[in-house]
Structure 1
Amino acid sequence: MTTASAYAATSPTSGLSASTIDRREPEADDVEIAIDYCGLCHSDVHAVRGEWGGTDYPLAPGHEIVGRVTQVGEHVSGFQEGDLVGVGCMVDSCRVCASCQDGQEQYCEQGLTPTYGGPDRRHDGVTTQGGYSSHIVVNQGYVLRVPENLDPAAVAPLLCAGVTTYSPLRYFGVKEGDSVGVVGLGGLGHMAVKIAKAMGATVTVFTTSSSKSQAAHELGADNVVLSTDEEAMEEMVYSFNFIVDTVAARHDLNPFLASLKRDGGLVQLGLPSDEMPPVDPRILIRRRLSYLGSNIGGIAETQEMLDFCAEHGVVSEIEMVKADELDEAYDRMVAGDVRYRFVLDNSSLPEAGQGASRGDAPAGRKA
């Protein structure tokens, strides 16, 4: 075991504070990574504050990890010391079920191993600890190559928000000339706009706030529709091939479904805590529409997404925070006061005294 410096919570009300966590020594198939940056996801807030239940404390969250390889096991191929790499929302899966065999590890029939907050199925069931830490050890099959031409800090949110929006757009075959709607313009929504535009689609943002119109256009949106304007919504009927719904609050889907063309689809990415109004099946039946959900992406698809973003120059819009600003950042996330994703500068973590060296920073790392 080695010790990593971290910021962790000890209870639902403790907030995040300086701590140390244990990391295993790299095994033959493992990659050790000194973490440069870790994105802040709203799911981190839910987990740390015990809002989903079942949190095993102490907990160091973070599943949008970018850093440099510091050590590889003897059986590792494809990675070497100094490589810029990433780790997303999972660090293992059963590897044998149909979903894993199909490269869809996020739908593992035995349950994926989350990057933090879950039992490590191959290491005595200890609780996994995430990227608000100085380093991490991950099996090579769940490590991603980060293109060097992208800003590594702005890449971090791609490992969750990026692939979560890329996956359904790719699954539905969005292509040049298609018309795509994006409901909501937060961390997920702004990535959906960027990626759909890079795929060649005409993009319309649906928002309840007219003040977001300029921001939507700056991100590349072609049109903005105020979804509370019934007349404007009626004008959108039969307009879209595909809609990405990123809103995590209760809202009526039927006006958005009505705006789809025949054979169109709406994917639900936002997960409201309150029960949603019922979907009118007549809208689905009359146009052969699809209403579907989607969950992050598999490892191969996440790598595909990173390579796509490198080709098209797509990264997340971020605000950097230091470790002692994490609690404030969480409060701002809950209040919706972020454009569009926070990213932790891991060089602001205190020294642990052990673990991956932070004195001689790998290339690209802020010392």
Structure 2
Amino acid sequence: MSHDYKFEGWLGKDKESAKGNMVWGEFPHVKPFEETDVDIQITHCGICGSDVHTLSSGWGPTTYPCCVGHEIIGKAVRVGSKVEKGIKVDDRVGVGAQNSSCLKPDCAECSDKLENYCQHIVTTFGDKYPDGSITYGGYGDYHRCPSHFVFKIPGGIASEDAAPMLYGGVTLYSPLVVNGCGPGKKVGIVGVGGLGHFGVLFAKALGADKVVGISRSNAKRDDVLKLGADEYIATSDDKDWATHHARSLDLIISTVSSPGMPLMEYLQLLKVKGTFIQVGAPEDMLPQFSAFAFIAKGVKMGGSMIGSPAQIEAMLKLADERKIKPWINTYPMKDANQAIKDFNDGKPRFRITLVNEKHL
């Protein structure tokens, strides 16, 4: 295939782009191709809350113009001579939220297969490589990425389903696995939306004895039970929910990114020696809580960020073997602005995947 294709896509020019005001354009500072790289002709890209936080400069100043999207699926169209994993031209591949890390032997994180925690991480969009070139995400036609962070997609997973697994899926899969989700465990998922619904799916697939969906209202109860949850707690509608379900869960994964979340009540749900893991990233501070909420029961609190390449590969293998099916709404790539508006309005159940129809 000729390599004269253009790297272009939906660009955010300012904070207003987060409201569905992106414009199509060429990427100005694409990374120069190296022999360890793969160029991907994008067919699908998931939409994530991180995209909106970046477009709006919610987590800090964004370098505009930026093209967001870090749940990328497509066809390998250019493959360097030193790529990893046996990737070949025409393979169906994907990229998640990470494009690079230092990969040096003396890096404690990279050498321990925790590349997602490397202090030299380069994220998939709105970030800089050491040479000053910029990362541009998947709301576009092509993406360039070092092969260490490119993954072959198992044949049994549809592209529209695989895309959101590469960030949304692994963001829940990783803390579930690391914190012992499996037979004998009772797990709660706080915030059953685009991220949280993956928590229900993967906790069940990993064999948890009980999975409890936790959300503010009863609006999602039926859908969450259809996903496979054994119970559902509506924190605004169920009377005395924290007392009624006290000391019932071994592990809670929180996807909620609200500084007003009832954190003290969530901690009340944990058993002695239980674990609370935060993956949702608020633009503001987490709510205050008393130290006795975790001291009195020996509770552990922690966080988790995306997942390592090894965890992504293990997640894809499990999803293929167990036929895990996320709930996906698809939009044409040309309608990305409308998709962002609908995402902001909370319309999807539970995830949106953009489809680049000209590349199908």
The TM-score normalised by the length of structure 1 is: 0.90
- The aligned amino acid for 1:13 is E
- Number of equivalences: 347
Match of 1:158 in 2: 165
Q: Aligned in 2, Cα 1:256/1:5: closer, same or farther, shift over 3 Å?
A: same
Mapped pair 1:237 → 2:260: no
- Per-residue CA deviations over 1:242-301 (Å, capped at 9, x if unaligned) read 011111112121111111112110111112233333222223122211111110011111
- The aligned amino acid for 2:22 is L
Q: What is the DSSP-based 3-state SS (H/G/I as helix, E as strand, rest coil) of the residue aligned with 2:64? A: coil
Mapped pair 1:340 → 2:350: yes
Mapped pair 1:278 → 2:284: no
Equivalent-residue separation in structure 1 for 2:57 and 2:297 (angstroms): 42
CA-CA distance at 1:230 after TM superposition: 4.1
Asked if the contact 1:205–1:225 (Cα under 8 Å) also holds between the matched residues in 2, the reply is yes
Match of 2:230 in 1: 222
Equivalent-residue separation in structure 1 for 2:283 and 2:66 (angstroms): 23
Match of 2:220 in 1: 212
Equivalent-residue separation in structure 1 for 2:223 and 2:298 (angstroms): 33
Asked if the contact 2:54–2:62 (Cα under 8 Å) also holds between the matched residues in 1, the reply is yes
CA-CA distance at 1:328 after TM superposition: 2.1
Q: What is the DSSP-based 3-state SS (H/G/I as helix, E as strand, rest coil) of the residue aligned with 2:202? A: helix
- Per-residue CA deviations over 1:106-161 (Å, capped at 9, x if unaligned) read 11123x1011101112xx21111111121122111111121110111111011111
CA-CA distance at 1:316 after TM superposition: 2.4
Equivalent-residue separation in structure 2 for 1:284 and 1:332 (angstroms): 38
- Per-residue CA deviations over 1:214-265 (Å, capped at 9, x if unaligned) read 0111110111112233423211111111011111112121111111112110
Q: 2:27 aligns with which of 13, 21, 38?
A: 21
- The aligned amino acid for 2:198 is M
Say what the alpha-carbon RMSD is for the aligned residues.
1.7
CA-CA distance at 1:325 after TM superposition: 2.1
Equivalent-residue separation in structure 1 for 2:187 and 2:31 (angstroms): 45
Mapped pair 1:128 → 2:135: yes
Equivalent-residue separation in structure 2 for 1:138 and 1:283 (angstroms): 44
Match of 1:71 in 2: 78
- Per-residue CA deviations over 1:80-117 (Å, capped at 9, x if unaligned) read 1221111011111122221111111111123x101110
CA-CA distance at 1:193 after TM superposition: 0.4
Q: 2:274 aligns with which of 264, 268, 289?
A: 264
Q: 2:89 aligns with which of 58, 81, 105?
A: 81
CA-CA distance at 1:181 after TM superposition: 0.8
Mapped pair 1:53 → 2:67: no
CA-CA distance at 1:165 after TM superposition: 0.3
- The aligned amino acid for 1:116 is F
Equivalent-residue separation in structure 1 for 2:47 and 2:147 (angstroms): 23
Q: What is the DSSP-based 3-state SS (H/G/I as helix, E as strand, rest coil) of the residue aligned with 1:160? A: helix
Asked if the contact 2:31–2:134 (Cα under 8 Å) also holds between the matched residues in 1, the reply is no
Equivalent-residue separation in structure 2 for 1:247 and 1:106 (angstroms): 21
Extract unaligned runs of 5+ from structure 1: 349-357, 359-365
Asked if the contact 1:64–1:159 (Cα under 8 Å) also holds between the matched residues in 2, the reply is yes
Q: 2:100 aligns with which of 75, 78, 92?
A: 92
Q: What is the DSSP-based 3-state SS (H/G/I as helix, E as strand, rest coil) of the residue aligned with 2:160? A: helix
Matches within 5 A, 1:153-192: 153-192=160-199
Equivalent-residue separation in structure 1 for 2:109 and 2:31 (angstroms): 28
Q: What is the DSSP-based 3-state SS (H/G/I as helix, E as strand, rest coil) of the residue aligned with 1:66? A: strand
Q: 2:6 aligns with which of 3, 6, 11?
A: 3
Mapped pair 1:303 → 2:313: yes
- The aligned amino acid for 1:46 is H
Asked if the contact 2:58–2:283 (Cα under 8 Å) also holds between the matched residues in 1, the reply is no
Q: Aligned in 2, Cα 1:126/1:227: closer, same or farther, shift over 3 Å?
A: same
- The aligned amino acid for 2:54 is A
Asked if the contact 2:221–2:232 (Cα under 8 Å) also holds between the matched residues in 1, the reply is yes
Extract unaligned runs of 5+ from structure 2: none
Taking only the aligned residue pairs, the percentage that are identical comes to 33
Q: Aligned in 2, Cα 1:275/1:140: closer, same or farther, shift over 3 Å?
A: closer
Equivalent-residue separation in structure 2 for 1:198 and 1:293 (angstroms): 22
Match of 1:290 in 2: 300
Matches within 5 A, 1:26-41: 26-41=33-48
Mapped pair 1:113 → 2:122: yes
